[in-house]
Amino acid sequence: MDSNNEYTYTPLKQPDKTIRLLKILSTAPHISCQLSVVALADSPVFSALSYVWGDPNITELIAVDGGAISVTVNLASALRGVYGHWARGQHIAPGEVQWLWADALCINQQDIPEKNLQLPLMEKIYSDAHRVIAWLGSDDDEVACRAVDAGNLVWSKISQ
């Protein structure tokens, strides 16, 4: 991937009413994505990603619409994990397009006026999401596995 070909965000015409959604196209040999602008009021079914940003100095380049964006390794790991989960067909209907909202990519972090209008929308974005994915780490992360086990235990108790 050419790091000199930096991705240029398309400005949001109504940043208080529109959002960007991400479609992960592939994760190998590198992450490749597409961003689309949609009206929040009539957005397609999407998932929202919640994760820890991590160290901003430890990054990875991903391809977005032919350009390159630097993201934290935590976000890159989350995108790989989500894509792998979806590729296995878990929790999706056949043929369902998988749209994802992840703040670090879907909000232009370099555009302060846009950020100031998008941040107050986060509550609505998370509540409008079909599902919220809480990324705790990769499958081999012991903390993540313990958290999933605890969640499964709670779910089994309340669903009895």
pLDDT tens digits, one per residue of 85-116 = 887 766 555 556 689 999 999 999 999 999 99
Instruction: Look at 56-70, 116-130, 138-152 and tell me which has the smallest mean pLDDT.
Output: 138-152
Q: Provide the pLDDT confidence category of residue 132 given band limits of 50, 70 and 90.
A: very high
Q: What is the pLDDT of residue 137?
A: 77
The DSSP line for the chain is --TTSB--PPPPSSTTTEEEEEEEEE-SSS-EEEEEEEEGGGPPSEEEEE-----TTSEEEEEETTEEEEEEHHHHHHHHHHHHHHHTTTT--TT---EEE-HHHHS-TT-HHHHHHHGGGHHHHHHHSSEEEE----TT-HHHHHHHHHHHHHHHHHT-
Instruction: Look at 43-52, 61-70, 100-109, 140-149 and tell me which has the smallest mean pLDDT.
Output: 140-149
pLDDT tens digits, one per residue of 26-48 = 998 999 999 999 999 988 999 99
Of residues 147 and 68, the one with the higher pLDDT is: 68
Q: Residue 129 pLDDT > 70, yes or no?
A: yes
Q: Residue 66 pLDDT > 80, yes or no?
A: yes
